[in-house]
Structure 1
Amino acid sequence: MIRHIVSWNYREDLSKEENYKNARKVKEDLEGLKDKIEGIKFIEVIIDPIKSCTADVILISEFETMKELDYYQVHDEHVKVGKFIRANLTNRQCIDYEF
């Protein structure tokens, strides 16, 4: 199994309300990919992490194989969501590992 974790921060030039609205859309759109992209075993987006967390939005997803993760990465639906994320969140960090 492959675990794919990505985190982002809010944009400093947007209000708290705008950032949270964008985070809710990211959560809805990313979690909605489970029904659109074959190979996603688990997907969750956290938009209310505890205060000690340095990220504002966190994606946790799991795939059976690296091939499935690769497929997810280039899938049109994921690419579409990614465009919104890149425009509205910053400081992307990614961790992928086998477990």
Structure 2
Amino acid sequence: MIHHIVMWKLKETANGKSKAENAQLMKERLEGLQEILPEIIELRVGMNIENEYSNFDIVLHSYFKSMEDYFSYQKHPEHEAIGNWVFTIREERFCVDYEY
């Protein structure tokens, strides 16, 4: 089983929207991937509820049966489209992938 974790710090404003608006849209778009990609076993997106002392605004946890499924997810056109859009609204991105 592969666990894929990604955390993002978003820009205060981007593409004419506030950080909160972009975070909500990002959550919706990422969660929509589970309906499109059967390789995803589970996908959860969390938005930070406390910003005063926190470094990141949004986190993705997704789970895959194998590395092959994970790579299929990474290369899917819808995932790539979301990734290209996220690049325009983020300041930082950190990721960890591990097998368990």
Q: What is the TM-score when the length of structure 2 is the normalising length?
A: 0.88
Preserved contact between residue 49 and residue 57 of structure 1 (Cα < 8 Å): no
Unaligned 5+ segments in structure 1 are none
Secondary structure at the aligned position of 1:55 is classed as coil
Q: Which residue of 2 aligns with 1:62?
A: 63
Separation in 1 of the partners of 2:50 and 2:72? 32
Q: Which residue of 1 aligns with 2:46?
A: 46
Q: Which residue of 1 aligns with 2:32?
A: 32
Q: Which residue of 2 aligns with 1:92?
A: 93
Unaligned 5+ segments in structure 2 are none
Query: Once structures 1 and 2 are overlaid, which stretch shifts more, 28-37 or 53-62?
Result: 53-62
Aligned residues: 97
Once the two structures are TM-superposed, the CA of residue 55 in structure 1 deviates from its matched residue by 1.1
Percentage identity across aligned positions? 34
Once the two structures are TM-superposed, the CA of residue 49 in structure 1 deviates from its matched residue by 4.4
Once the two structures are TM-superposed, the CA of residue 54 in structure 1 deviates from its matched residue by 2.1
1:21-73, Cα deviation, whole Å (9 max, x unpaired): 00111100001000101210111111124455421111110001010110000
Q: Which residue of 2 aligns with 1:18?
A: 18
Name the aligned partner's letter for residue 88 of structure 2. Answer: A
Preserved contact between residue 48 and residue 56 of structure 2 (Cα < 8 Å): no
